[in-house]
Structure 1
C-alpha cells in the first residue's frame, strides 16, 4: 500500500507517519510540506491514499484534492484542524473521500482507511453530531441515492454536462443522436427531481461535480 502525507507542520507530519507505519508495516509512505509538490507527486505516481491538510503553502489541500480526483484514482483524506460543516461540504464538493480532524485517535485513522477500502466515505466521529454536519450528511446521502438511479449512459452524460460539454459535443462523444442526448437529459432531471431546463441541469451538475465524479469512478 502506498500512502502520501501533505502537511506543512513537520512535527505533525512525523507523528502521522509514525502512526501509519505502526498500523501498516508494509506501507510505502511519502511526505510533502506544500500543496504544489504533493500534487505533482500524486499525479506522477498516484498513491492508494493521500492525506491532505487544507492550509498549505503554494496550493491548499482542497485545490490539490480537486485536481487529484479529476486525474487519478487515489483516495483523498482531508486531515485538518477545521471542525465545521462548511469546510466539510467544501471538501466533499472537491471530491474528498474522507474528512478527519487532527485530534482524531490512531484507531479512527485506521478505521477511516479500512472504510475507504470497502468503498465507503468517512467523516470524523467527532463531527457527526453537529446540526450542520447532519444536514450535509443527509443531503449527501440523498444525492448519492438519486445518482445511483442513473444508468451508466445517463451517468456518463451527467459527467459530461458537469464538464461543460454541449449537447452536440456529448452526442459526438457518445456516438448517439442529439435527440438521444436530450432524452438522457430529460430522464436525468426526472430522476434527480430537478427542473427539466438545460440551464438548471448545468447549474446542478456544476454544484455537485465532486459527487458526480466520485460516483462516476465507482
Structure 2
C-alpha cells in the first residue's frame, strides 16, 4: 500500500486529491497539510512514501518544503502547480522533486503518476516537462565541478545518462544501445550511485547542468 501525504493550502484541492487517491486500491492518504511547514512536520512524523506537494503556499512554500522533506525523509516528492510554465517548478526539481503535475490533471493520470514516482520513476516524459527542464538549465552555464564528476562514469553509463536527459524510457534506451532493459536498469542504478543522485529526475537535471547535454541540441 502506497502511503501519501497531500500538501496544499486550498481545502478544495487538498480534499479532492485525497478523495481521488483514497479511491485507488493500492494508495492511502495518511495525512494532509495546509502549508509547507506542516508538510515537513507531517512527512517526518508519518513517513509517507510520497508527498503530493503544492508549489505555491504561504509561509514555507513548496520549494523549501521539498528540499526539507528530501533532506529529512526518504519520501519522493511530486509537485503540483496551477501553471504550465512556473519558475518555481525549476527550483523544486533542483531541490529534489521527482516530477510535477498541473492541477488540472485527470483522475487516472494523477493515480498513475503517484504510482510511478513512488516506484522511483521520474515524471519527465511529457514534452512540456522536457521543455521546462531545458529552459531551466538553459538559463545558466555548465558547472565545471559537475562536469568533472562525469569522469567516474563508464562510456555506457554516459550514453545512458545522455538518453535519460532526452526523456527516454528504459525500453527506448535499451533499443538505442542494443542492450536489455535489465542492463539499462543496472546502468541507471550505477550512475545514480556514482553521482550521488536520488532518482532519474535529478539525473536529468545533472545531465544539463554538467553540460553533458546542451539545451537546443539535436538528440
* Structure 2 unaligned blocks of 5 or more: 154-194, 204-219
Report the Cα offset of residue 27 of structure 1.
1.5
Is residue 32 of structure 1 aligned with residue 33 of structure 2?
A: yes
CA contact (8 A) 2:55 2:89 kept: no
Q: Structure 2: how far apart are the matches of 1:149 and 1:56? A: 40
Question: Residues 181-196 of structure 1: matches in 2 within 5 Å?
Answer: none
Q: Structure 1: how far apart are the matches of 2:100 and 2:133? A: 11
The match for 1:176 is none
The match for 1:214 is 198
The match for 2:216 is none
Q: Equivalent residue of 1:73, what SS?
A: coil
CA contact (8 A) 1:75 1:97 kept: yes
- TM-score under structure 2 length normalisation: 0.59
Q: Equivalent residue of 1:122, what SS?
A: coil
Q: Aligned pair count?
A: 156
Encode CA deviations 1:52-71: one digit per residue, 9 max, x unaligned: 11121231111010011111
The match for 2:58 is 57
The match for 2:169 is none
The match for 1:7 is 8
Question: Residues 13-162 of structure 1: matches in 2 within 5 Å?
Answer: 13-24=14-25, 27-84=28-85, 86-123=87-124, 125=126, 127-128=128-129, 130=131, 132-136=132-136, 150=152
Report the Cα offset of residue 136 of structure 1.
4.9
Report the Cα offset of residue 91 of structure 1.
1.2
The match for 1:155 is none
Question: Over alpha carbons, which structure has the higher Rg?
Answer: 1
CA RMSD of aligned residues (A): 3.5
Cα separation, partners in 2 of 1:111 and 1:56, compared to 1, 3 Å: same
Cα separation, partners in 2 of 1:55 and 1:138, compared to 1, 3 Å: closer
CA contact (8 A) 1:147 1:215 kept: no
Report the Cα offset of residue 115 of structure 1.
1.9
The structure with more helix, counted as a fraction of residues: 1
**Bigger Cα displacement from structure 2, 1-10 vs 84-93:** 84-93
